[in-house]
Amino acid sequence: MRIAIIGAGGVGGMLAARLGAAGHEVSLLARGGHLAAIREAGLKLVTPGDEVVLHPAIATDRGADLPAADLVIVAVKAQDLDGAIEQMAGAMAGGALALPFLNGVEATDRLQARFGAGRVLIGIARISAFIEAPGVVRQVTPGATYTIGTAGGRQDDPGVAEIRAAFHAAGITVPESTDVRIDLWTKFAALSAFSGVTAGARCDAATLRATPALELLYLRLAREVLALGRAEGVALPDDLPQRMLDFARGLPGEMRASLAHDLEAGKRLEIDWLAGAVPRLGARHGLAAPASETVAAILAPWKDGAGRK
């Protein structure tokens, strides 16, 4: 399979290394020092169990250099998707499917608006990995899963089945799902709440579970996602907010959402596509989302990467 990967960070880098090692023709779009190191010595994936080095067929920062692909994996920050769409146009030209692994719930719709219905899937990554040094991606925990389905949430589509089989053969865990949309919105509820609390309150998981007011805020954020998801036609369960809070209570005490780490580092924030998306999308259903709106407002001064003030 010819695979183009847009973004070679924790998610995309792990997939690139595993799929390349399995014999697929992998092309990478990366940038800066990370790209330079990949060109010189390859992309190294370091996990708790092994190390893999990929020498991609092409490593570039120009979308025009990417050949036509069978599958285009998009693994960028949500705020960078518009730029990625333009960069991936050439790789999509031969009829490829696009498989986004982005935070939030809008990536598939945004890609479909450019490339058409039927050519874009849903992808949900659950992995803890990051760029440790230029050319090196470190996977923190041994477990990582990539849930894949059609825009309608199905996994019995032939294209989806082929991709899942390729991932599985490469040693990548691809969970089964009765409706991938439920998985997508479940992750969104958890991430919108956890990122909103840990970034908004500048705290970690230990502080969250030790502070009743923050746990209540977490529940309110998750409940607003529950209401929105149902309005969007996704059959989310009544106990979703409580289950997500129980999950957060079990996280390592020092853990914070990537949004909180980005805030600390002065990077651009995905807030418009997490808590900020809930009132924006809810408006078309007449739904209010005061908790999400407030979290988005208090983080708005930092969303363009101004750093801590």
Q: Pick from 113, 75, 276: which is nearest to 188 by CA? A: 276
Q: What is the pLDDT of residue 308?
A: 46
The strand pair at 43-46 and 25-29 is best described as unpaired
> What CATH topology corresponds to 2-178?
Rossmann fold (3.40.50)
What tens digit of pLDDT does each residue of 177-236 get? 999 999 999 999 999 999 999 999 999 999 999 999 999 999 999 999 999 999 999 999
Query: What are the E-state strand segments in 101-165?
Result: 121-126, 129-133, 136-139, 145-150
Distance, in Å, from the CA atom of 78 to the CA atom of 267, rounded to the nearest integer, reads 13
Distance, in Å, from the CA atom of 268 to the CA atom of 35, rounded to the nearest integer, reads 20
CB-CB neighbours of 186 under 10 Å: 22
Report the percent of the chain where pLDDT is more than 70: 99
> For the purposes of burial, counting CB atoms within 10 Å of the CB of 134, is it exposed (0-12), middle (13-18) or buried (19 or more)?
middle
CB 101 within 8 A of CB 73: yes
What tens digit of pLDDT does each residue of 75-98 get? 999 999 999 999 999 999 989 999
Report the predicted TM-score, pTM, of the whole model to 2 decimal places: 0.94
Distance, in Å, from the CA atom of 106 to the CA atom of 179, rounded to the nearest integer, reads 17
Q: Which residues are bridge partners to 60 per DSSP? A: 29
Q: How confident is the model at residue 113 (pLDDT cuts 50, 70, 90)?
A: very high
At the top level of CATH, the class of 181-302 is mainly alpha
Residue 87's H or E segment, with its range, is helix 81-87
Domain residue ranges of the chain, discontinuous segments joined by +: 2-178, 181-302
Q: What is the pLDDT of residue 94?
A: 86
What tens digit of pLDDT does each residue of 125-172 get? 999 899 999 999 999 888 899 999 999 999 999 999 999 999 999 999
What tens digit of pLDDT does each residue of 11-21 get? 999 999 999 99
- The average confidence (pLDDT) of the chain is 96
Of the chain, the end-to-end C-alpha distance in Å amounts to 47
Does residue 48 have a pLDDT over 50? Answer: yes
